Amino acid sequence: MECRDIINTLAACLQVSGTDPGLAQFIQILLGVLIVTMAPLIVVILLIWVERKFAARVQDRIGPNRVGPYGLFQTVADALKLITKEDITPAGADRLIYNLAPIVSIVSVILIWAVIPFSPIHIGVDLSIGALYFVAVGSIGTLAIMMAGWSSNNKYALLGAFRVVAQLVSYEVPMVFALLVPVLIAGSMSMQGIVEAQRGMWFVVLSPVAALIFFISTQAETGRAPFDLIEAESELVAGFNIEYSGMKFGLFFAGEFVHVFTNALLMAALFFGGWVGPGVDQIPALGFVYIALKATVFYLVSLLLRSTLPRVRIDQLMSFNWKFLVPVSIVNVIVVAFLLQVVRALGLAPAADLANDFIANLPQAIVLLLGSLVIVAFVLQQLRNFGRQERAAAQTVMVRKEDDVDMLPAQAAH
């Protein structure tokens, strides 16, 4: 290893100046870690402002505009407020777990940032199992909610936690199936490998169905509208975090905000080419701009969804997942796998030396895209039939379904 530039070969540079090799390596790792862990926390301060402004504009309000120019410092003021608020631990709470839960919740999100590729050379660490890593650490967040709900010693918190956990684990299934598609096409689980494989063609072209399912299920994973049963105020008072106050409550929210943007980044990296863009090989730093632009688009779409759509009912939420998303995602994986074999058998796959060429990727892309369109057409047909049946049934039976009556704790405990 030689000392080229200070950021990527810091250890080598330190060794040149006479530091112990082991220590030099450690310092390099520590610095990298600090940069990557700080990034989401700095970004979140901006994100909260963006979110509030955006939601306000959608709803024809002004949004924060008092603290600093355009209300930019509102988040700082809020953070100060949260820190100085009294922190209440309810009687009978399990103190250790109660305090640990918000930390675990935000840690599970921050850990995802370790494998997000920002440019050809800037990535926390390019694990060979990166795609599985982020699903695995993401699933720790579920645990945090369970811990929070249980340790609060509150019926509504526990009930909310149960619901949320059921929602999160359910939507993880289609998410992972959608994630299989990029792995299948790229033949790699490392995040850089997946992004590199999109130099010729973005995966969203090859499998728009997978991209859509991934987007919907990650949206549900964050617990944002229309899937915000986490904060179903009308039924659960406030859900699993009802007993939390002050900074601990703030951490749950910060975690949620970071999670939304993290999902947008993952969406950009997995399906929209990540840092791929013109001139990125000459100036790697351009990768930051490309991925940030792409991620911002998804972030804004998800904000738009949040501020416009109404909340779904929990039975609809579960039916939508298990009877729609999961079957479609399974069929999608099978179709993509089948078409990849067909493409290879027909010799339409791009040659190894032309993998980065747009034209060489076209035949494969067209075949796979047609497969996706067939899936979409079939699904739409099925939905139309289903809708017709539902309307027919609704006309004969004009009885409205009771909403979740059995969910009240009084009745749940017989």
Partner 1 sequence: MLELNAQSIGFLVFSVFTIGGGLGVVTSRNLIHGALFLILSLFGAAGLFVLLSAEFLAAVQVLVYIGAIAILIIFAVMLTRSMTRLSEVFNRQWWLSAVVAVGLFVLILVGVILPVFGGMDTASVAPDVATTVDLGVALVDGNQYVLPFEVASILLTAAMIGAIVIARDNE
Partner 2 sequence: MNVINEWAFIGVFVAIAWVIPTLPIALAAFVSPRKPNAIKMQTYECGVETVGDTWVQFKVQYYIYGLVFLVFDVEMIFLFPWALAYNRLDFFAFGAGLLFIFLLTDALIYAWRKRALEWV
* Closer residue to partner 2, CB minimum distance, 197 or 267: 197
Size of the site for partner 1 (CB under 8 A): 24
CA-CA distance, 20 to 14, in Å (whole number)? 8
Of partner 2, partner 1, none, which one sits near residue 140, judging by CB under 5 to 8 A according to partner kind?
A: partner 1
Binding marks (x or -) toward partner 2, 339..378, rule CB under 8 A? -xx---x---------------------------------
CB 175, min distance to partner 1, A:
12
Instruction: Name which of residues 95 to 114 contact partner 2 (CB under 8 A).
Output: 99, 102-103, 106-107, 110-111, 114
Q: Is 184 in the site for partner 2 (CB under 8 A)?
A: yes
- In the shown chain, the binding pattern of residues 214 to 253 toward partner 2, with x for contact by CB under 8 A and - for none, equals -----------------------x----xx--xxx-xx--
**CB under 5 to 8 A by kind: which of partner 1, partner 2, none does 314 bind?**
partner 2
Among 2, 17, 18, 22, contact with partner 1 (rule: CB under 8 A): 22
Task: Select the residue interacting with partner 2 from 7, 23, 169, 394 (CB under 8 A).
Answer: 169
**Alpha-carbon gap, residue 170 to 221, rounded angstroms:** 9
Residues in the interface with partner 2 (CB under 8 A) total 87
Q: What is the 3-state secondary structure (H, E, C) of the chain?
A: CCCCCCCCCHHHHHHHCCCCHHHHHHHHHHHHHHHHHHHHHHHHHHHHHHHHHHHHHHCCCCCCCCCCHHHCCHHHHHHHHHHHCCCCCCCCCCHHHHHHHHHHHHHHHHHHHHHCECCCCCECCCCCCHHHHHHHHHCHHHHHHHHHHHHCCCHHHHHHHHHHHHHHHHHHHHHHHHHHHHHHHHCCCCHHHHHHCCCCCCHHHHCHHHHHHHHHHHHHHHCCCCCCHHHCHHHHCCHHHCCCCHHHHHHHHHHHHHHHHHHHHHHHHHHCCCCCCCCCCCCCCHHHHHHHHHHHHHHHHHHHHHHHCCCCCHHHHHHHHHHHHHHHHHHHHHHHHHHHHHHHHHCCCCCHHHCCCHHHHHHHHHHHHHHHHHHHHHHHHHHHHHHHHHHHHHHHCCCCCCCCHHHCHHHHCC
Piece of 42-50, 262-270, 314-322, 363-371 that binds partner 2 (CB under 8 A): 314-322
Residues 37-56 touching partner 2, rule: CB under 8 A, are: 37-38, 41
Task: Assess 143 for contact with partner 1 (CB under 8 A).
Answer: yes
- The residue within the footprint of partner 1, chosen from 11, 123, 137, 220 (CB under 8 A), is 137
User: Is residue 121 part of the contact set for partner 2 (CB under 8 A)?
Assistant: no
Binding mask 160-179 for partner 1 (x = CB under 8 A): --x--x---x--x-------
Nearer to partner 2, 207 or 302 (CB): 207
- Give the nearest distance from C-beta 15 to partner 2 in angstroms: 15
Which spans of this chain sit near partner 1 (rule: CB under 8 A)? 22, 94, 97, 127-129, 132-133, 135-137, 139-140, 142-143, 146-147, 150, 158, 162, 165, 169, 172, 189
